[in-house]
Amino acid sequence: MKVLLIGGGGREHALAWKIAQSPELGELVALPGNPGIAAMPRCRCVAGAAEDAKLVVELARTMGADLAVVGPEAPLVAGIAEKLAGAGVACFGPGAAAARLEGSKSFAKEIMASCGVPTAAFAVFDEAVRAHAYVEQRGAPIVVKADGLAAGKGAMVCGSVPEAHDAVQRMLEKRELGAAGRRIVIEECLAGEEASFLAIVDEEQVIPLASSQDHKRVGDGDTGPNTGGMGAYSAVPVLGRELETWAISHIVTPVVRELARRGLCYRGVVYAGLMIGAGMPRVLEFNVRFGLGSVAPLTWREEAAACVVAAAAGYPGAYAKGTPICGLEHVPAGELLQVFQAGTAQREGRLVTAGGRVLGVTALGGSLRGALDRAYGALRLVRFAGMQYRRDIGHRALAREEECR
Ligand code: AMP
């Protein structure tokens, strides 16, 4: 089988790593991919933009792709799945209409409201005057979100009323987020512990994936600005079997049915970002990634997993690119340890940084502590100038383990 993989970050490196383990794979071509993918057997990278639909379809045709796997959300929201289908290439990713679940926060909120899925109370605004009035009426803390895709910068959790007015002004008046912020959602600020719940769905079944928890803030102890994610671990104690079953019947199934009622068939992975407060999950957001036909039974490893992100100095603000990365060759990569490359490039024969989040050091272990020790041990072997990473990935689960002892 020939697979076209769209995207070039850490997620795509991880996808390529898994796809390349299939004995059915003939060749994997990544657009644009990254040096980590290029170094794997049966894989090659082609330069170009993942958002360039014409190029994607052309490449799928010329390479004779049997399957296209779409990593990032932007091409999905722009309708790449339909364009590939038009060219006779099966696509692992939902169509544009269903992808609006991520592409438009107000659409996602409306769907949830229609089918009674628990989420923060909200209102939608296109006009600044009304939005400011709503902020005054509701008070703080309050959350202001751009309706469209804003590369992770679209949600502002505002601790005070002036901060919320400022967020409204930046999005609706100054248009700092461009078209993504032309419409905004203002919502209740929820308290609790965040967790990610992913499920593979089609018309008939909902199959949960292993739960995970992300660490969004740049600094230890969850301080500093939000990022694309500084690390993650799985499985998550706060999202046990019982809540998982509840989330299937009260979140994923109603949403998929509501979409179907509107003529939108959702096949693929639904990612629900949850806030769990007092044992009750509420949906913060949906992500749409992947779409597929029939699903073979899934098997999960028993071990705990942890990923620690090594980021460039300054991230998530301005950061340098082109810094040489050393020591990767010393990492004993194998079944229990992998370094996924997220923001790297090859320059004059050297691996250099090319993004804010540079590496995702990912490990398995008999316990979360074991997985973390393995990941942090590997990180000590890798260096680039200004490298920063959080030292406390998994702290909530570790604290729970301590409590139970
Ligand atoms: P989103 O892009 O909607 O996932 O928001 C990004 C991050 O902002 C989330 O991971 C949360 O940490 C935070 N956030 C979003 N919505 C809320 C909310 N209603 N209450 C509290 N925190 C939120």
Render pLDDT for 132-179 as a digit per residue (tens, 0 to 9). 999 999 999 999 999 998 877 899 999 999 999 999 999 999 999 999
CA atoms of 134 and 31, how far apart (whole Å): 44
Of ligand 1's listed atoms, the one at least distance from the Cα of 188 is 19
Question: What CATH number does the domain located at 193-289 have?
Answer: 3.30.470.20
- Does the Cβ of 216 fall within 6 Å of ligand 1? yes
* Residues of the chain falling short of pLDDT 70: 289-296
Q: Where in the chain is the domain with CATH 3.30.1490.20?
A: 122-188
Q: Whose CA is nearest to atom 7 of ligand 1?
A: 155
- Does the Cβ of 284 fall within 6 Å of ligand 1? yes
**Residue 266 gets which letter from DSSP?**
-
Mutate to test the pocket of ligand 1, among 102, 106, 143 (most ligand atoms within 8 A of CB): 143
Mutate to test the pocket of ligand 1, among 107, 284, 287 (most ligand atoms within 8 A of CB): 284
- Does the Cβ of 378 fall within 6 Å of ligand 1? no
Q: Where in the chain is the domain with CATH 3.30.470.20?
A: 193-289
The answer to whether domain 2-95 has CATH 3.40.50.20 is: yes
Distance 284 CA to ligand 1 centre (A): 6
- Does the Cβ of 282 fall within 6 Å of ligand 1? no
- Does the Cβ of 157 fall within 6 Å of ligand 1? yes
Q: Whose CA is nearest to atom 4 of ligand 1?
A: 285
Q: Where in the chain is the domain with CATH 3.90.600.10?
A: 304-404
Distance 217 CA to ligand 1 centre (A): 11
Task: Note the pTM of the prediction, 2 decimals.
Answer: 0.86
Distances (CA, A) of 224 to 161, 218, 390: 20, 6, 11
- Does the Cβ of 142 fall within 6 Å of ligand 1? no
The whole-number pLDDT of residue 292 equals: 56
- Does the Cβ of 147 fall within 6 Å of ligand 1? no
CA atoms of 381 and 277, how far apart (whole Å): 38
Q: Label the pairing between strands 357-365 and 304-311.
A: antiparallel
CATH architecture of the domain covering 122-188: 2-Layer Sandwich (3.30)
Distance 45 CA to ligand 1 centre (A): 34
- Does the Cβ of 187 fall within 6 Å of ligand 1? yes
Distance 144 CA to ligand 1 centre (A): 9
If phi > 0 it is left, if psi is from -120 to 50 it is alpha, else beta; for residue 186 that is beta
Distance 190 CA to ligand 1 centre (A): 8
Identify which of 164, 177, 198, 230 has the alpha carbon closest to the alpha carbon of residue 394: 230
Mutate to test the pocket of ligand 1, among 187, 218, 275 (most ligand atoms within 8 A of CB): 275
Checking 129-133 for CB contacts under 8 A at 24+ apart, the result is 131/168, 131/172, 131/184, 131/186, 132/165, 132/168
For residue 255, give the H/E element and its range.
Answer: helix 253-261
The answer to whether domain 304-404 has CATH 3.90.600.10 is: yes
CA atoms of 71 and 69, how far apart (whole Å): 6
Mutate to test the pocket of ligand 1, among 119, 145, 157 (most ligand atoms within 8 A of CB): 157
Q: Whose CA is nearest to atom 2 of ligand 1?
A: 155
The whole-number pLDDT of residue 91 equals: 86
- Does the Cβ of 128 fall within 6 Å of ligand 1? no
The whole-number pLDDT of residue 291 equals: 38
CA atoms of 400 and 405, how far apart (whole Å): 9
